[in-house]
Amino acid sequence: MPTNNIETRHRIATEHGGYFRNLQRGLLKISGADRMEWLHNLTTNVIRTLQPGDGNYAFAVTVQGRTVFDLNCLVFEDCVWLDIDNRWLDDAIAHLSKYRVVEDIEIADISANWNRHDIMGRDAARCVDRLHLGSNFSALADVQHTASTVDGRAVHLMKGNMGPIPLAVIYVENPPAEENPVENETEPPFDAHLASVAGDLGMIELDGELSKIIRIEAGHPASVDDIDGDTIPPETLQVERGISYVKGCYLGQEVIERMRSRNSMARRLIGMKISGTVLPPHGAWVFADSKQIGRVTSVCHSTALNSILALGYVKTSLASGGETLRVATSETDFAEAEPVDLPLEVWKSNG
């Protein structure tokens, strides 16, 4: 079956799912006796009571409540992993180091020690089962994780999140450099095994373009692209999974709690269907009449809608439609836009 056509590949992804080596994420290892309490006080979600094998999605924010980075927190017996977009690694290390005063804490970048593979879609659980990782993927909660061994390498399986779309994240330990010299470099055995198993299930290897289309159609905001330093976490609509309002004090908590108690979220993330054929650039302004009321963050040509689809932030009062919006596609040109409910219907029943 030819799979070079975007419509064909998108249909395969909706019917079966896909997989890819995720090069966009890095890992920080936090160790030391004070790690749990310390991280609990620096993030928006509960950390201190998590047990080995548990995890949480959270934000690290400034005193003003602005996002520094978002993260998946994976708890192990002797350490914690922070799964972070690798464009944020330096900022994350600087931020965490700033608040390491007298605590027994060590911070290490272990990104190079692990390969991350993402498996998404309807057949993700079947794929994981056939990889024989010794875990019931479907029974895992968000960010829970398990450990196993494949070909003598440590492997960790995590339940990821892409809205309604099942997502399995697999971390495979890299061999030491001396065991895999560049001149003899071949495809790692796990990569070939994953490709074979997924292929037998009818799944497709995803490239960056299709992965982005699926993510936007699912309404799932991405680190850095949609969640940046101008964002206050509730605006991302990831409140239920990323913010605890009962955990007590943490850095930036007052701003986020005030938004909740006053029901005063000035803007929020929405999907926008945009007319025409020109994709607006990242950060393009959104207008109502002649007033700037928001910005575009992620944009693609949606295969499911056969139209340009964007994620972006607009004033909450205009998020539900009823007023014509315009998006700047260049310094002088504009396209009409309308709010659209996400995830799109094609992904709602994907699980």
Q: What is the pLDDT of residues 299-309, one digit of tens each?
A: 999 999 999 99
pLDDT band at 178 (very low <50, low <70, confident <90, very high): low
Average pLDDT of the segment spanning 27-36: 98
More confident residue, 306 or 187: 306
The whole-number pLDDT of residue 186 equals 58
Nearest to 282 by CA among 328, 314, 219, 320: 328
The whole-number pLDDT of residue 180 equals 55
Residue 185 clears pLDDT 80, i.e. is over it = no
Q: In what order do the strands lie in the sheet with 153-159?
A: 145-150, 153-159, 167-173, 114-120, 18-21, 204-205
Spatial contact of 297 and 318, defined as CB atoms under 8 Å apart: no
Percent of the chain with pLDDT over 90: 88
**What does the block give as tokens for 327?**
């998006």
| Domain topology for 17-202+232-264 | Gyrase A; domain 2 (3.30.1360)
**What does the block give as tokens for 97?**
């180091």
- pLDDT tens digit string along 94-146? 999 999 999 999 999 999 999 999 999 999 999 999 999 987 899 999 999 99
Among the ranges given (61-65, 136-140, 292-296), the one the predictor scored with the smallest mean pLDDT: 136-140
Average pLDDT of the segment spanning 84-96: 98
HSE of 9, CA atoms in CB hemisphere, 13 A: 17
Give the amino acid at 188: P
Nearest to 82 by CA among 108, 49, 53: 108
**What mean pLDDT value characterizes the chain?**
94
The whole-number pLDDT of residue 321 equals 77
pTM as predicted: 0.94
Spatial contact of 90 and 273, defined as CB atoms under 8 Å apart: no
**What does the block give as tokens for 341?**
């409910």
Residue showing tokens 């094998």: 53
Residue 28 clears pLDDT 50, i.e. is over it = yes
Residue 79 clears pLDDT 80, i.e. is over it = yes
Average pLDDT of the segment spanning 291-320: 96
Nearest to 214 by CA among 2, 3, 12: 12
Report d(CA 56, CA 324) in Å as an integer.
Answer: 38
Spatial contact of 129 and 118, defined as CB atoms under 8 Å apart: no
Strands (E), 127-242: 145-150, 153-159, 167-173, 204-205
Percent of the chain with pLDDT over 70: 95
Q: Are strands 167-173 and 153-159 parallel, antiparallel or unpaired?
A: antiparallel
HSE of 150, CA atoms in CB hemisphere, 13 A: 23
**What does the block give as tokens for 187?**
């495809």
The whole-number pLDDT of residue 195 equals 96
pLDDT band at 2 (very low <50, low <70, confident <90, very high): very low
Q: Is the dihedral of CA 205, 209, 212, 216 positive or negative?
A: negative
Average pLDDT of the segment spanning 216-221: 98
The whole-number pLDDT of residue 36 equals 98
The whole-number pLDDT of residue 1 equals 42
Residue 320 clears pLDDT 90, i.e. is over it = no
Average pLDDT of the segment spanning 278-294: 95
The whole-number pLDDT of residue 99 equals 96
Residues in the chain: 351
The whole-number pLDDT of residue 177 equals 61
- pLDDT tens digit string along 12-26? 999 999 999 999 999
Q: Is 153 left (phi over 0), alpha (psi -120 to 50) or beta?
A: beta
Neighbours of 150 (CB within 10 A): 17
Spatial contact of 1 and 8, defined as CB atoms under 8 Å apart: yes
Residue 235 clears pLDDT 50, i.e. is over it = yes
The whole-number pLDDT of residue 323 equals 80
The whole-number pLDDT of residue 175 equals 79
Q: In b/e form, how buried is each residue of 65-96, taking b as 16+ CB within 10 angstroms?
A: bbbbbbbbbbbbeebbbbbbbbebbebbeebb
Residue 3 clears pLDDT 60, i.e. is over it = no
Spatial contact of 122 and 347, defined as CB atoms under 8 Å apart: no
Where are the chain's structural domains?
A: 17-202+232-264
Q: Which residues pair with 59 in a beta bridge?
A: 70
Among the ranges given (1-5, 143-147, 337-341), the one the predictor scored with the smallest mean pLDDT: 1-5
The whole-number pLDDT of residue 147 equals 96
Among the ranges given (61-75, 115-129, 170-184), the one the predictor scored with the smallest mean pLDDT: 170-184
Tell me the three state secondary structure of residue 71.
strand
